Amino acid sequence: MTKPAQSVLATGSAATLYERSGAAAYALDIEQFAAILDEIVRKYLLQNASAEHTSEFCAGLRLEELALARACAAGNERAWQDFIGRYRQKLHNMALHITRDGAHAAELADSLFADLYGVNARDSARRSKLVFYTGRGSLEGWLRTVMAQEFINRYRKQKRTVSLDEQTEEGAQFAAPVPEPVCTADPRLEAATDEALAELSSEDRFTLASYYLDGRTLAEIARALGLHESSVSRRLDRLSTGLRKRILAGLRTQGMSHAQAAEALETDVRDLRLNLRSRLMQDSQTKAFPGGTVPARDPGQRDGGKNDGKGE
């Protein structure tokens, strides 16, 4: 029987992590902060992870930013004042970089800030997007990713308001639905892929989804994330190489030889029962991309060596 994940309180490192986080300033006690860490540990570590591994993982998180984000989500006034002081202007700058228009930037930034604050409450309960921040990357990077997703969501919603006649006049082509594939993939490949994707930060998952699933160019992704195009290209190379290595290692730990694991990686991704799109967008309340099957593609290859920024 698989052992449950180690509780952070049980590892003996909770007091040190709590002190480093500064959570006490936002009225989060050690038990509440440990519960937040336990939630993140259950999400990203194996269930039988050792106390030492659990402590090391938690120590590598952005603890101060995690405490700030979760305190904001809980409605702590001091946390919100600190958040506004640190990130309100940055949110506006991010929005301006994406939209290139002052009025649209202000609207986008204010809309996201409202979602972060949780003003769209239902059943008298606040629902802040900040509960999805896990501290595995910087809070600023996570905010940039959420901002980019919101911008794309708005763009797609706007496109859906265009009538079918207008789209037809513009030469739009409407493809016939693709039949469901027969699932023949080894379940060990699905498990190894799922585990490897779960280890990625939300910004890395957004980058992969943008390029491989949505077919966006390097320039478009760079603009959405506020990065240079060459930085996005290097990140994609690093991510695809790293994912391949992680999946291979996962297959080996499940009993496959190196040759068997390499052969398993040649499986058409459309044969995976794993919803790659859902997994890549798992840290967001709203998906930036519509559902659907993923085109066959070797995650270790790059368009025949051409860096033109297009997916297949």
Where helices occur in the chain by DSSP H, the ranges are 8-11, 14-21, 30-44, 51-59, 63-73, 77-99, 102-117, 139-160, 164-169, 187-198, 202-208, 218-225, 229-253, 258-264, 276-280
**Segments making up each domain of the chain, as ranges:** 8-61, 71-169, 187-305
CB 280 within 8 A of CB 197: yes
Percent of the chain's residues with pLDDT above 70: 70
CB 296 within 8 A of CB 270: yes
Distances (CA, A) of 151 to 107, 263, 289: 11, 39, 11
Instruction: Render pLDDT for 46-70 as a digit per residue (tens, 0 to 9).
Output: 777 788 889 999 999 999 999 999 9
- Residue of 126 and 89 predicted with greater confidence: 89
Instruction: Render pLDDT for 188-234 as a digit per residue (tens, 0 to 9).
Output: 777 888 888 888 888 888 888 888 777 788 888 888 888 888 888 88
Collapsing DSSP states into helix, strand and coil, what is residue 309?
Answer: coil
Residue 31 tokens read as 């038990």
User: What phi and psi, each to the nearest 5 degrees, are found at residue 270?
Assistant: -70, -15
Note the pTM of the prediction, 2 decimals. 0.56
pLDDT for 176 equals: 41
Instruction: Render pLDDT for 141-189 as a digit per residue (tens, 0 to 9).
Output: 999 988 888 888 777 766 555 544 554 454 444 444 433 333 445 677 7
For residues 261 and 82, give the distance between their C-alpha atoms in angstroms, rounded to a whole number. 49
- Residue of 98 and 83 predicted with greater confidence: 83
pLDDT for 188 equals: 79
CATH architecture of 71-169: Orthogonal Bundle (1.10)
Q: Which residue's structure tokens are 């698989």?
A: 2
